[in-house]
Chain A
Amino acid sequence: MRKALTAALTALAALATLAVAAGTAGGSTATAKSPTASDTAMITCGRTRTLGVAAPITGAAASIGTQQLRWARYWVTRYNARSRRTKFRVVQGDTQLPDTAQAIQVAERFASNSQMLGMVGPAGSQEVQVSTAPLRRGGIVNVSGSATRTSLTTDSTRRGYFFRTVPNDDQQGPRVANYIRGTLRHTRVAVVDAQNSYSTGLSDTVQSVLRSRGVTVQRESVNEADTTDFSSLVARIPANTQSVYIPWQLAPKAQLFGQQLRAAGKRAVLFGSDGLFDPDSFRIPGSFVSFFPINLSSPVIRAYRRGPGRGKSELFGLPSYAAADVVGKAIDKACANGTATRAEVRRFVNQTNIPKAQSLLGFRIKFVQRRQGVLGPGDMATPANFGIYRINNRGAYVRVS
């Protein structure tokens, strides 16, 4: 009898805990559940507003996800320091790239979080892919700081819902390829993709442009995340290769690859994409990196270095700051009359117009409304030129184009 009683009591306790947890888990109020989180539900903007940040915080891609999270949080810190009446707070979602199952869970939960009006992220292009349906249903706008696959905007299926504060693959690729062929005048190039979504897109674009301009391109592939020794790859690259294009995202791996290349006596010049723009980790002298033209001596970046960056600028996460800026400003505008709906926030994001002086990216942030060339709705209407930087003998990045 006692056992049955204990069993019943334990079950009751477990159920109670479950109920409490479920009640507190989804939203911020512990009242009965009702699906209030939707596109047109009017919510009262209190003093504290919620910003969602979805990034890979743990797992294989943690080193890039935490940078994005820190930059987005930094925006919130700066905002909260300046603003008297309203505050923002961050709700994190750990998407654990490359496991997209977590990304869709985060998307569903964010969409159900009735207090959330907008979010930064997701980081990976395939994560955006799986998150689209739940986020659309919930009506939440998402502004990504690193999802660069061109088709995400050019297929127009996410118009009005998905925006990004980074240029897409088709803007960066041709610029790089033309620089290699036109300015550097290299004719023997190796392209190494990292076996992930970001780099295969860029690699394919660069490879095809180079080949169309008569360059001999050797295409290689390596699993950037899992590889710790690039000596086999180094061995495959002949000594007469003039440059190696590495559109990777993990700057320390690129650094290692470059050093092993040098140690093997090969003189090929490294060319990195925006994922490698990291003056703290990728510093092989003589290398090039493409990035959009930011002001490296901006006081915001310097303050970040001193503060949350702890001595590092972690520039991979910089576009997430801009993304937080876009979403935050839109939420503020929507909440100006005290209430807001997600549809309103989306509209304000679409109408974003942050002047160059206030934007950390080095140019005015405006979003394209319809397809034009390689830009789709949701891409930034950026100045056409990506910047090309060269790393000098002391490891400093100098803009050369």
Chain B
Amino acid sequence: MEAGEDRPRVGVDDWVASVETRKERRGGFAAAGRWVDAHLPPWARLAIFAALAATLPLWMDRGDLFAYGIFTLIYIMLGLGLNVVVGYAGLLDLGYVALFGFGAYFYALLSSEQYGIHWPSWISIPLVVTSTALLGLVLGIPSRRLLGDYLAIVTLFFGQAFVVFVNAANPTVAGKGLTGGPNGIADIDPNDIFGYELISRTQQYYFILGVVLLILIGLHFLSESRTGRAWRALREDPLAAEAMSMPVNRLKLMAFAFGAAIAGLAGCIFAAVLTAVTSGNFGLPILITIYAVVILGGIGSLTGVVIGAIVINVSFQFLAPENPQDNARLLFYAVIVLLLVLGVRPWWRLSVVFAGVAALGFVANAVAGAIDSSWTSGAVVEGGRLAGVISDWVIIPSGHDRFANIAYIALVVLVLTLTRVHGWWRTIVMIPTIYLAFVVWETSFVEQPSVARWILFGALLVFLMTVRPQGLLGTPRVEIV
């Protein structure tokens, strides 16, 4: 209990207002996370993040550094920019990715073979950032008249229009298609720091890390400033803010401009890292990912955005099919075990579940094999060292398409049922559910890992949102009727 809470406060229902403290007391790792977030000063968090991030190139190989390191940082940057618009000012901007695209294309035009212009980064990047900010301002102008979802639609159109313009319209300027049409713009120069070109992935990684740290520091000060507080007021209740004589329209435009500037910067870096840009890079899937990053982490929280980007990109890459599948299997099994260990209490119940699953597996396999040997004679794909155990434990029929589909649907039904039952019923239903999960993995996921990745990712989003709607580090709101 914080000091002073035992003093009665006028107009406040104590029981309702202390909900947060009660939740904290319940414990669990989410509460622990929030405790850390609340008690660790911002500079300490930044230092820890910087220290951990800086060690990445030392133990990751190049491909992983690119996929895990560089892309996570880019998503962090984009998330931070969107956080200014959505998290600080509360404006639903669905065209954000077009600003990102604009930054990338503009940088590409200034530093590639497209028109033979090769301006060094210290000129092109600031130019691109300022023009993207101006474009963001223009995009924000409809926000005067349009509220909420209508603004969302107009910005969405803008985003779509950008993609169509770049891909199909591609007007001819100075003898060449401006945006390269479906081919996009290729052979983009790498970023350079006053002549020192950033070519290797490690160099690029450290550069982007530096930029991200600077943005984090800048945004932290911005959010503590008058403008930041004004934005928060605007987000909470625009009408009250206006009544308090805050320049609401100007604040909205500033939010758009700031978010756009960060998007433009991210675009420059993205274009240089990829060395080529096409319209397909800036479509709706990226927009959705950036939104997921911001919302998952908790709107308005800088740490939240960082954590959200890490969770989303890392989980997405974990499940990538480029990973050798026997290791992916180990990971899948390990995650399920981890979830059980973290989620099921007390210990004896946990051991019941484990024993039950193991037993069910061997029994079911034996029974199925006895009834018809083709029911268990399917091959274990990429079994590796565990192939023998798996084929004795999981039912894999030969020619298993229909079986796999039915198993999958049964698994979905069981998982949904699991959320509805409690107590002992839950433990009992958990056993066939987990076994079925392994069956589905072996019969369909392992053969279509890319699809499995998206399915698991979607399920993860739903799960995270329903369990913690305010995001990992957001503050839950209690409504008093």
- Residue numbers of A with Cβ under 8 A of B are 2-4, 6-7, 10, 13, 17-18, 20-22, 24-28, 30, 32-35, 37, 57-59, 89, 91-94, 96-101, 104-106, 108-113, 125-126, 129-130, 133-134, 149, 195-197, 200, 221, 223
**Alpha-carbon gap, A32 to B61, bound state (A):** 10
Closest B residue by C-beta to A8: B32
Closest A residue by C-beta to B35: A3
In the complex, the answer to whether B276 meets A126 with C-beta atoms within 8 Å is yes
Q: Given A7-B29, A24-B331, A92-B449: A112 and B63 within 8 A (CB)?
A: yes
Closest B residue by C-beta to A137: B62
> Using Cβ atoms and an 8 Å threshold, which residues of chain B touch A59?
285
13 A/B residue pairs, CB under 8 Å, sorted by A = A3-B27, A6-B31, A18-B314, A57-B451, A93-B320, A94-B450, A99-B280, A104-B66, A108-B62, A109-B320, A112-B64, A129-B183, A129-B186
> Using Cβ atoms and an 8 Å threshold, which residues of chain B touch A126?
182-184, 186, 276, 278, 280
**Alpha-carbon gap, A134 to B275, bound state (A):** 10
In the complex, the answer to whether A24 meets B323 with C-beta atoms within 8 Å is yes
Closest A residue by C-beta to B36: A7
**Alpha-carbon gap, A27 to B64, bound state (A):** 10
Q: Given A26-B64, A99-B280, A105-B71: A125 and B183 within 8 A (CB)?
A: yes
In the complex, the answer to whether A89 meets B61 with C-beta atoms within 8 Å is no
Out of A10, A22, A32, name the residue touching B33 (CB < 8 Å): A10
**Alpha-carbon gap, A59 to B327, bound state (A):** 25
Out of B201, B276, B281, B318, name the residue touching A99 (CB < 8 Å): B281
1/0 per residue, CB under 8 A from A, across B259-287: the answer is 00000000000100011111111010110
- Is B424's beta carbon under 8 Å from chain A? no
In the complex, the answer to whether B36 meets A99 with C-beta atoms within 8 Å is no
Q: Given A2-B27, A57-B451, A126-B182: A92 and B64 within 8 A (CB)?
A: no
In the complex, the answer to whether A109 meets B182 with C-beta atoms within 8 Å is no
**Alpha-carbon gap, A28 to B327, bound state (A):** 8
In the complex, the answer to whether A98 meets B279 with C-beta atoms within 8 Å is yes
Closest B residue by C-beta to A197: B182
Q: Given A24-B327, A133-B275: A6 and B32 within 8 A (CB)?
A: yes
Closest A residue by C-beta to B327: A24
Kindly state the interface size class of chain B when it binds its partner: 35 or more
Q: A22-B59, A57-B448 are in contact. List 13 more A-B contacts (CB 8 A).
A: A24-B323, A27-B324, A58-B451, A59-B285, A98-B280, A99-B280, A100-B276, A100-B277, A105-B67, A108-B201, A111-B63, A195-B167, A197-B182
Out of A4, A13, A100, A108, name the residue touching B67 (CB < 8 Å): A108
Q: Given A93-B321, A126-B278, A223-B168: A37 and B450 within 8 A (CB)?
A: no
Out of B32, B281, B320, name the residue touching A100 (CB < 8 Å): B281
Which chain B residues numbered 229 to 285 have a C-beta less than 8 Å away from chain A? 270, 274-281, 283, 285
Closest 4 CB pairs of A and B: A98-B280, A112-B63, A109-B63, A24-B327
> Using Cβ atoms and an 8 Å threshold, which residues of chain B touch A94?
320-321, 449-450, 453
Q: Given A25-B323, A92-B322: A10 and B29 within 8 A (CB)?
A: yes
Out of B61, B71, B275, B382, name the residue touching A37 (CB < 8 Å): B61
- Is B222's beta carbon under 8 Å from chain A? no
Determine the main DSSP class of B at the interface with A: helix
- Is B119's beta carbon under 8 Å from chain A? no
In the complex, the answer to whether A100 meets B278 with C-beta atoms within 8 Å is yes
In the complex, the answer to whether B27 meets A195 with C-beta atoms within 8 Å is no
In the complex, the answer to whether A200 meets B321 with C-beta atoms within 8 Å is no
Out of B59, B62, B317, B334, name the residue touching A111 (CB < 8 Å): B62
In the complex, the answer to whether B285 meets A99 with C-beta atoms within 8 Å is yes
> Using Cβ atoms and an 8 Å threshold, which residues of chain B touch A18?
314
- Is B356's beta carbon under 8 Å from chain A? no
In the complex, the answer to whether A109 meets B276 with C-beta atoms within 8 Å is no
Which chain B residues numbered 319 to 333 have a C-beta less than 8 Å away from chain A? 320-324, 327, 330-331
In the complex, the answer to whether A113 meets B36 with C-beta atoms within 8 Å is no
- Is B60's beta carbon under 8 Å from chain A? yes
- Is B49's beta carbon under 8 Å from chain A? no
A16 to chain B, nearest CB (A): 10
**Alpha-carbon gap, A35 to B275, bound state (A):** 23
> Using Cβ atoms and an 8 Å threshold, which residues of chain A touch B168?
195, 221, 223
B383 to chain A, nearest CB (A): 11
- Is B126's beta carbon under 8 Å from chain A? no
- Is B454's beta carbon under 8 Å from chain A? yes
> Using Cβ atoms and an 8 Å threshold, which residues of chain B touch A92?
321-322, 449-450
In the complex, the answer to whether B331 meets A109 with C-beta atoms within 8 Å is no
**Alpha-carbon gap, A108 to B62, bound state (A):** 7
A280 to chain B, nearest CB (A): 19
> Using Cβ atoms and an 8 Å threshold, which residues of chain B touch A35?
61-62
**Alpha-carbon gap, A111 to B322, bound state (A):** 11
**Alpha-carbon gap, A17 to B310, bound state (A):** 14
1/0 per residue, CB under 8 A from A, across B417-442: the answer is 00000000000000000000000000
Closest B residue by C-beta to A115: B324
In the complex, the answer to whether A108 meets B66 with C-beta atoms within 8 Å is yes
> Using Cβ atoms and an 8 Å threshold, which residues of chain B touch A111?
62-63
Interface centre among A4, A33, A93 (most CB of B within 10 A): A33
